[in-house]
Amino acid sequence: MSFPDAASLNSLTELSSEAATDSNRSAAPVHFGFQNTYARLPERFFSRLAPTPVAAPQLVKVNVELARSLGIDPDALSSTVGVEILAGNKIAESSEPIALAYAGHQYGYFVPQLGDGRAILLGEVVGEGGERYDIQLKGSGPTPFSRRGDGRAALGPVLREYIVSEAMSALGVPTTRALAAVITGERVLRETVLPGAIFTRVAASHLRVGTFQYFAARQDIDGLRTLANYAIARHYPDASKAARPIRALLDNVIARQAKLMAQWLMIGFVHGVMNTDNTSISGETIDYGPCAFMEAYDPATVFSSIDANGRYAYGNQPRIAHWNVTRLAEALLPVIAEEAGSEEAAVAAANEALAAFEPQFEAARLTGLRRKLGMFTESEEDAALAENLLERMRVNGADFTLTFRRLCDAAGGVKNDAGVRELFTDSDSYDAWATKWRQRLEKESITAEKRVEAMRKANPAFIPRNHMVEAALNAAISRQDFHPFEELLDVLSRPYEDRSDMARYSVPAKPEERVCQTFCGT
């Protein structure tokens, strides 16, 4: 990857802060080694500003392993100075803070200017493997993009993003990560008054479909071209060698989104706000708001309080991802036309690229279902067999995660069927399907032991069940008790391992515990 020269602004800017943290550790220097390639792009791509200091920052959590993998000393990050940086009270050496400009379709309606209304990019760090990551504060105060918002975040949504993004990572799904959470010592006003917090996010980048839409909407073709080249250099360097690099960029983004949708569906994830500004160019899951995991299998599952029409329902997500990448293709048309020779050729190229979404998604989904069902080979009947199980799960209200986890035991023999059977209101419905499943598995010479082992790696025992997430958030907000949050993080860090001491995290909510709605809390 070749990038413009890194920052020359190396001054350590101290912002006014009378507030002390209660972390009494030594004020070790925090070395991020920030590079600022985005801040080298034209000034109209962002706004330069520092976070707004907060009253009394306190550390909630530092992600020790993640910090290490990024070459950041977790102890320094947890020190008084570290917490001041995480709270936005101090600017780290080598950081050039900026708020990024972007646009986006929200629930299908285009908003020409959104942007980081409550987030600030501190800079980029290069990880162990040479990959570049953005470090961003979320909830760090108002910016020129705040519109009517206060630029702040409440503790609940910050902890939710921490928990769910780390769970997604452990489940093996591309995602932004949680580096830290701090409370601000200030209150934020939402439906009620809530404790304020700041989340530190790590992302492959914060380029979104909406970033391209921002320049397209302004007919800023130079901006589009610059952005496309930046995205190629940062995420798809091979595309620069293609005969038509921008078409190759589009192909790559489409492929990543198609695969990501299959990964979401395989674990029952519902994003909740798949607006084009929440669709990452790198293919990571980004902007966790009213997200939640489905329990009883039903493609119509919706949690978000503001998604009244089910636009972003579990089963609708692939269709929406396709819609979102179609908006990317539209935005890129002027620069695809430059390399394709004409507008007509650009439209044909974009349509060709978009046509690849569905087959790529379907192939990834079928591969995923085969893994979940313990199939090592491919057979014509597999798709129908998988669909048939899903339909029976829907009719019988079977818990998605537990059905597949218990199928791992069932793969060991009929004698182990009881666990799955009891998840179906009509257990006979499971039996009828299982007979066909076993006939299919008999076509493979693999041992039952091997199959069970492989299936346990494809079907998690633990997902962030909504009532457990809610309980962890409530304990933190109402009692300043972070123990449930820590325990949940621990369980979710190894989602494919059975842990008898943590069994209560693996079962669905009882009817009275069920969480049917989530709120984005912005």
Residues noted as catalytic = 277
Q: How far apart are CA 89 and CA 86, in angstroms?
A: 8
Task: Enumerate residues 415-474 that contact ligand AMP by CB under 6 A.
Answer: none
Determine if residue 134 is labeled as part of a ligand binding site. Answer: no
Q: Which residue in the set 278, 280, 301, 360 belongs to the binding site for Mg ion (CB under 5 A)?
A: 278
Determine if residue 310 is labeled as part of a ligand binding site. Answer: no
Determine if residue 409 is labeled as part of a ligand binding site. Answer: no
Within 10 angstroms of residue 379's Cβ, the number of other Cβ atoms is: 12
At closest approach, how far in Å is the CB of 329 from ligand AMP?
Answer: 22
- Decide: is 209 part of the binding site for ligand AMP (CB under 6 A): no
Q: Which residue in the set 53, 115, 223, 272 belongs to the binding site for ligand AMP (CB under 6 A)?
A: 115
Beta strands in 34-176 (DSSP E): 46-48, 58-62, 98-100, 104-106, 109-111, 119-126, 132-138, 153-154
- Segment lying near Mg ion (by CB under 5 A), choices 172-180, 282-290, 427-435, 459-467: 282-290
Taking CB under 5 A as the rule, which mask of x and - marks residues 229-268 in contact with Mg ion?
Answer: ----------------------------------------
Q: Which residue in the set 273, 313, 321, 407 belongs to the binding site for ligand AMP (CB under 6 A)?
A: 273
Which residues lie below 8 Å from residue 23, measured CB to CB, with a gap of 6+?
58, 59, 78, 79, 80, 83
Q: How far apart are CA 497 and CA 385, in angstroms?
A: 27
Q: How far apart are CA 371 and CA 196, in angstroms?
A: 42
Start-to-end CA distance of the chain, whole Å, equals: 36
Q: How far apart are CA 437 and CA 379, in angstroms?
A: 12
Taking CB under 6 A as the rule, which mask of x and - marks residues 275-304 in contact with ligand AMP?
Answer: ---x--------x-x---------------
Determine if residue 24 is labeled as part of a ligand binding site. Answer: no
Instruction: Provide the token pair at 214.
Output: 């921002």
For residues 42 and 149, which CB has a smaller minimum distance to ligand AMP in the complex? 149
- Segment lying near ligand AMP (by CB under 6 A), choices 109-117, 175-183, 442-450, 480-488: 109-117
- Decide: is 522 part of the binding site for ligand AMP (CB under 6 A): yes
117 binding partner (options ligand AMP, Mg ion, none; Cβ < 5 to 8 Å by kind): ligand AMP
Within 10 angstroms of residue 259's Cβ, the number of other Cβ atoms is: 20
Which residues lie below 8 Å from residue 511, measured CB to CB, with a gap of 6+?
none
Determine if residue 436 is labeled as part of a ligand binding site. Answer: no
Q: How far apart are CA 205 and CA 234, in angstroms?
A: 8
Binding residue count for Mg ion, defined by CB under 5 A: 3
Q: Is 226 exposed, middle or buried (0-12, 13-18, 19+ CB in 10 A)?
A: middle
For residues 288 and 433, which CB has a smaller minimum distance to ligand AMP in the complex? 288
At closest approach, how far in Å is the CB of 411 from ligand AMP?
Answer: 40
- Segment lying near ligand AMP (by CB under 6 A), choices 126-134, 144-152, 161-169, 216-224: 144-152
Contact 108, 124 (CB under 8 A): no
For residues 36 and 279, which CB has a smaller minimum distance to Mg ion in the complex? 279
320 three-class SS = helix
Question: DSSP readout, 271-308?
Answer: -S---GGG-BTT--B---SS-EE-SB--TT---BTT-T
Q: Is 14 exposed, middle or buried (0-12, 13-18, 19+ CB in 10 A)?
A: exposed
DSSP-based helix, strand, coil % in the chain, nearest 5: 45, 15, 40
Binding residue count for ligand AMP, defined by CB under 6 A: 17
- Decide: is 136 part of the binding site for ligand AMP (CB under 6 A): no
At closest approach, how far in Å is the CB of 152 from ligand AMP?
Answer: 6
- Segment lying near ligand AMP (by CB under 6 A), choices 88-96, 145-153, 423-431, 500-508: 145-153
Which residues lie below 8 Å from residue 256, measured CB to CB, with a gap of 6+?
174, 282, 283
Contact 168, 462 (CB under 8 A): no
For residues 221 and 520, which CB has a smaller minimum distance to ligand AMP in the complex? 520
- Decide: is 287 part of the binding site for Mg ion (CB under 5 A): yes
- Decide: is 58 part of the binding site for Mg ion (CB under 5 A): no
Q: Which residue in the set 75, 150, 220, 338 belongs to the binding site for ligand AMP (CB under 6 A)?
A: 150
For residues 64 and 520, which CB has a smaller minimum distance to Mg ion in the complex? 520
Backbone angles phi, psi at 46, to 5 degrees: -165, 180
273 binding partner (options Mg ion, ligand AMP, none; Cβ < 5 to 8 Å by kind): ligand AMP
What is the binding site for ligand AMP (CB under 6 A)? 114-118, 145-146, 149-152, 273, 278, 287, 289, 520, 522
What is the binding site for Mg ion (CB under 5 A)? 277-278, 287
